[in-house]
């Protein structure tokens, strides 16, 4: 970690962050942690926090939770949040599958966001991609009715896999099934990430998908 990222950990982690592996057994009380009742948005894989900090700042009405395995990324996210004066953000360091399975109440989340997850582009590694039928079922089970699962990727065959997997989950409905290909229009509120910029340079098209809990 950089000096700044370490400072952010030292100053802000005790209030803003928790480690998934150190959470007590049972469901996490988000209202108590945030100090208020509000819809909970979970972003899985916040990376270096560029997008996450802006999204949390733009939606103060949400209790925004970011889950990430990369410690320097969480440090950078805390620095960005500090600069933007974000108050509605909490961070979880560790495996999002463990978090969802063991520490999130069923039907409790307002939404789940998964933007540009590791594409594992080689075919032999596709099984390592996070969006698999069991994961879609897990996310769906944690969404409140009407809650959304919003994904974005710049890898065409991963986008197609996401579409196939989530279409096959009976408790999810594609909000944009009537759009060409079933893709969601790119939302203006989602900042352009460095991954998306690189994809554009390399000639890859980014796709958004938004599924709703029925």
The whole-angstrom separation of Cα 158 and Cα 19 is: 29
Arithmetic mean of pLDDT over the chain:
95
pLDDT of residue 196: 86
Task: Output the domain CATH number for residue 84.
Answer: 3.40.50.150
167 and 214 in a single domain? The answer is yes
pLDDT of residue 130: 96
pLDDT-derived band at 194 (thresholds 50, 70, 90) equals confident
99, 97, 84, 83: which is closest to 17 by C-alpha? 99
The total number of structural domains that make up the chain: 2
Inside any domain, residue 26: no
- Does pLDDT of 173 surpass 90? yes
Q: Which of 96, 117, 143 is the last residue of a domain?
A: 96
pLDDT of residue 166: 98
Q: Which pairs count as long-range contacts for 33-41, CB under 8 Å and 24+ apart, including other chains?
A: 33/90, 34/63, 34/88, 34/90, 36/63, 38/62, 38/63, 38/88, 39/63, 39/110, 39/111, 40/65, 40/108, 40/109, 40/110, 41/65, 41/109, 41/110, 41/111, 41/112, 41/113
The whole-angstrom separation of Cα 58 and Cα 165 is: 30
pLDDT in tens, 137-147: 999 999 999 99
115 and 191 in a single domain? The answer is yes
Q: Which of 72, 96, 120 is the last residue of a domain?
A: 96
92: containing domain? 1-14+34-96
90 and 127 in a single domain? The answer is no
Active site residue 178: no
Instruction: Let me know if 149 is exposed, middle or buried by CB neighbors in 10 A (0-12, 13-18, 19+).
Output: buried
- Does pLDDT of 120 surpass 90? no
75 and 168 in a single domain? The answer is no
Percent of the chain topping pLDDT 90 = 92
Inside any domain, residue 152: yes
pTM of the model: 0.96
Through-space distance between the first and last CA atoms of the chain, rounded to whole angstroms? 42
Tell me which DSSP letter residue 6 carries.
Answer: H
Q: Which helix (H) or strand (E) holds 62?
A: none
75 and 149 in a single domain? The answer is no
Helix (H, G, I), strand (E, B) or coil at 118: coil
- Does pLDDT of 7 surpass 90? yes
Q: Which of 44, 67, 96 is the last residue of a domain?
A: 96
Inside any domain, residue 68: yes
74 and 136 in a single domain? The answer is no
pLDDT in tens, 23-39: 999 999 999 999 999 99
95, 184, 98, 91: which is closest to 138 by C-alpha? 98
**Which residue out of 10, 29, 118, 200 is catalytically annotated?**
118
179 and 113 in a single domain? The answer is yes
pLDDT in tens, 43-62: 999 999 999 999 999 999 99
52 and 149 in a single domain? The answer is no
Average pLDDT over residues 185-190: 93
156 and 87 in a single domain? The answer is no
Inside any domain, residue 101: no
77 and 133 in a single domain? The answer is no
Inside any domain, residue 27: no
147 and 197 in a single domain? The answer is yes
The rounded Cα 135 to chain-centroid distance in angstroms is 13
Inside any domain, residue 43: yes
pLDDT-derived band at 175 (thresholds 50, 70, 90) equals very high
Inside any domain, residue 25: no
pLDDT of residue 153: 95
Inside any domain, residue 187: yes
């Amino acid at each position: 970690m950089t000096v700044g990222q370490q400072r952010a950990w030292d100053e802000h982690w005790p209030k803003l962050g928790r480690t998934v592996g150190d959470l007590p057994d049972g469901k996490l009380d988000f209202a108590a942690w945030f100090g208020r009742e509000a819809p909970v948005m979970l972003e899985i894989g916040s990376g270096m926090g560029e997008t996450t900090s802006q999204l949390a700042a733009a939606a103060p009405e949400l209790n925004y939770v970011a889950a990430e395995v990369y410690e320097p990324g969480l440090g950078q996210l805390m620095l960005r949040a500090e600069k933007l004066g974000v108050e509605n953000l909490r961070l979880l360091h560790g495996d999002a599958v463990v978090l969802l399975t063991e520490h999130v109440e069923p039907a409790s989340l307002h939404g789940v966001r998964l933007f540009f997850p590791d594409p594992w582009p080689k075919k032999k590694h596709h099984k390592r991609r996070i969006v698999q039928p069991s994961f879609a079922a897990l996310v769906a089970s944690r969404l409140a009715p009407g809650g959304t699962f919003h994904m974005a990727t710049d890898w065409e065959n991963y986008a197609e896999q996401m579409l196939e997997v989530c279409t096959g989950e009976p408790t999810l409905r594609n909000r944009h099934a009537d759009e060409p290909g079933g893709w969601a229009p790119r939302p203006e509120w989602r900042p352009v990430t460095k991954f998306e910029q690189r994809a554009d340079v390399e000639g890859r098209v980014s796709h958004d998908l938004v599924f709703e809990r029925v």
